[in-house]
Structure 1
Amino acid sequence: MSARHIVLVTDAWFPQPNGVVRVLSSLKRELEAVGHRITVIEPGQFHTVPLPTYSEIRLAVFPGRRVAHLLSSLRPDAIHIATEGPLGWAARAWCLKRQIPFTTAYHSKFPEYVQARTGLPLDWLYAAVRRFHAPSQVVLAPSQNVFHELTARGFERVRHWAHGVDTTVFRPDRKNLFDLPRPIFLYVGRVTVDKNLTAFLDLDLPGSKVVVGSGPQREALKKAYPQALFHIAEGDEELRLCFNAGDVFVFPSRTDTFGLVMLEALACGVPVAAFPVTGPQDVLLDAAGTAGILDTDLKQAALTALTLDPADCRAHALRFGWDEVARQFLEALAPIRYTVGEPATESPHVPSCP
């Protein structure tokens, strides 16, 4: 396959600490390694304001004109719109106005997240998200369960897209980062209401509980659960040690589309305990019972997971390679056909991305 120039438009990028950024940055690295040119249009290139109630996420303000200039000047071979934020809507509008094909992805259960914060009807929120994705040539879904959910809600041209984990970064390592009574039950990820962390922190478990991550609910949970340790990891090296410090990775979310942090824990040899819902089911697949435990009783899942073999966890994670993720992504792209003889436009300066 010949090398292509692909533009990724995303409202989630560094320094945001979340799974969407992890997926997109890993995808970018994998595609560049096989010769493709990737340009990222992201919030750092625009004037931004903090998202209300979640200041770590910054949103571009009135980005339409600059997004249009960038896309017109870059002349990419394909455009992928990764998120439904201001940049995503601006890129969508530019493509529709010029009849330029594009693809999108459904990374997060945004309707459930908004409903948890606002109480707005879920059907209304899904209607808005469905409208965003409706013109897309392909809507990439990060798991089979999400594929079925979106199809059932009337989304069209949905395609399953595998996710992966960097098993060279996330690998077994020393387990002594935290000097705490064992067993250590661990959560890593955003500390937000949609992650359902109280379902984990309320459990009567032996040993210790550790929550690694930042987010708007962090301070309130620290006060409400003083017996738990709250920690923020700086960089992948420390994050790997955090994963390895745990004896069981507890994932209480009921609304994640996938849950990449579970794969990162498994790659470090740490078994998963979770509810039997979308996300955990798609991560564990046929390894439920060997690499992790799914149970409506989260306490029972956590205790049973203690008995699992770390080697089985690592072996399962090794099945999720980024080469397959990149291959499926490239197959889904909608090529842009330019008019023969159309003059090229000088490429604008786009700030480099990690």
Structure 2
Amino acid sequence: MRRILIATDAWHPQVNGVVRTMSIVVEELRKRGHEVRVVGPDQFHTVPCPTYPEIRLATRPSGKFAKIMREFRPDVLHIVTEGPIGWAAWRWARKRNVPFTTSYHTRFPEYVQARIKFGLNLSYRLLRHFHNAASATLVATASLREDLEARGFTRLSPWTRGVNLERFSPEPRCNWQERLDVPGPIFIYVGRVAVEKNIEAFLSLDLPGTKIVVGDGPQRKALEQKFPQAFFTGRLDEGELSAAYAGGDVFVFPSLTDTFGLVLLEALASGTPCAAYDVTGPRDILAGTNGRVGAVGPDLREACLKALKADRQECRKHAEGFTWEVCADLFENALHPFFDK
């Protein structure tokens, strides 16, 4: 069994796909007998992230990170993110010439460009410098791997995602039409309400029925004002979330920048067909289903209307092919040990 240290700028109380993925993988690794230490922003002095104050960034984490490494003496190091903690871990490992692994969770250059119009080429050059120093960089989908390879990234390793099939199920199913006194069909989005999620593209569509947005984030107030005909529920607890998914006739995923889209699997596990752009994540998750569980394409409205014809039982069946056990296996097998460095 190994002592595993995971360095991440995305950790509780943040709510996003990175945190969900790593929380479940850490739990699975501990079940397998590994001793896992997560080093996150909660262990440092932090400041709000510019343009996204809900996310806290560690300030000057290098000294404390080195102290944690001396005390914990891990066998392996995995770096989750390219933020201050990730760079502190990167510098620690590079200085001592020890191997480490990384994972590519977020299309960071596209996120930055969406917020502050920072150049894509410069961002990708920085990320190549970061990830190409690793013994392996874990990526979620084949299409993301192809894209990163074309941009000069090396030693890319597959790392799929899973879904909790007990937590997310077709029943119970929220009756949104009765609850809100609205017409169907119900088109629903679940996730962070932020500019990089491209939710405005969904809310601008000319669709029959009703649009519902589940979640919270910095863009919620502006979207509520611009689209008063849509319903915004805010964040729902775990007991309500599966029923909310299941109550939708179509789950709409308008993002153009996600690397996977865990919410797609959660929707499918809840029996709800998915509609999305033909981009990394949706393209991979819905590959080979021929419209049985949803639709992807360049026209999001057309995909939404096609998804109405999908088979809810097939949605659940397709989601059952994605397990967290396989996700943890791939993560565990990619780890690169080092000794007494």
Report how far residue 177 of structure 1 moved. Answer: 5.3
Q: Deviations over 1:14-71 (max 9, x none)?
A: 1111100011011111111222221100011111111122111111111111111001
Q: Which residue of 211, 226, 229 corresponds with 1:227?
A: 229
- Check whether the contact 2:174–2:244 (CA below 8 A) recurs between aligned residues: no
With 173-182 and 68-77 compared, the bigger mean Cα shift is at 173-182
Letter of the 1:326 partner, please give it. A
Q: Partners of 1:320 and 1:217 in 2: how far apart?
A: 31
Letter of the 1:308 partner, please give it. A
Matches within 5 A, 1:1-354: 3-176=1-174, 178=176, 179=179, 180-338=182-340
Q: Deviations over 1:188-209 (max 9, x none)?
A: 1111111111110011111110
Letter of the 2:95 partner, please give it. K
5+ unaligned residues in a row in structure 1: which ranges?
340-354
Report how far residue 247 of structure 1 moved. Answer: 1.0
- Check whether the contact 2:2–2:35 (CA below 8 A) recurs between aligned residues: yes
Q: Deviations over 1:196-232 (max 9, x none)?
A: 1111001111111011111211111110001111122
- Check whether the contact 1:186–1:211 (CA below 8 A) recurs between aligned residues: yes
| Structure 2 SS opposite 1:104 | strand
- Check whether the contact 1:288–1:294 (CA below 8 A) recurs between aligned residues: no
Q: Deviations over 1:52-97 (max 9, x none)?
A: 2211111111111111100121111111000000000001111111
5+ unaligned residues in a row in structure 2: which ranges?
none
Distance 1:80 1:288, change over 3 A: farther
Instruction: With the length of structure 2 as denominator, give the TM-score of the two structures.
Output: 0.96
| Structure 1 SS opposite 2:157 | strand
Q: Partners of 1:136 and 1:111 in 2: how far apart?
A: 19
- Check whether the contact 1:196–1:252 (CA below 8 A) recurs between aligned residues: yes
CA RMSD of aligned residues (A): 1.2
Q: Partners of 1:6 and 1:285 in 2: how far apart?
A: 34
Instruction: With the length of structure 1 as denominator, give the TM-score of the two structures.
Output: 0.93
Report how far residue 288 of structure 1 moved. Answer: 4.0
- Check whether the contact 1:133–1:139 (CA below 8 A) recurs between aligned residues: yes
Aligned residue-pair number: 337
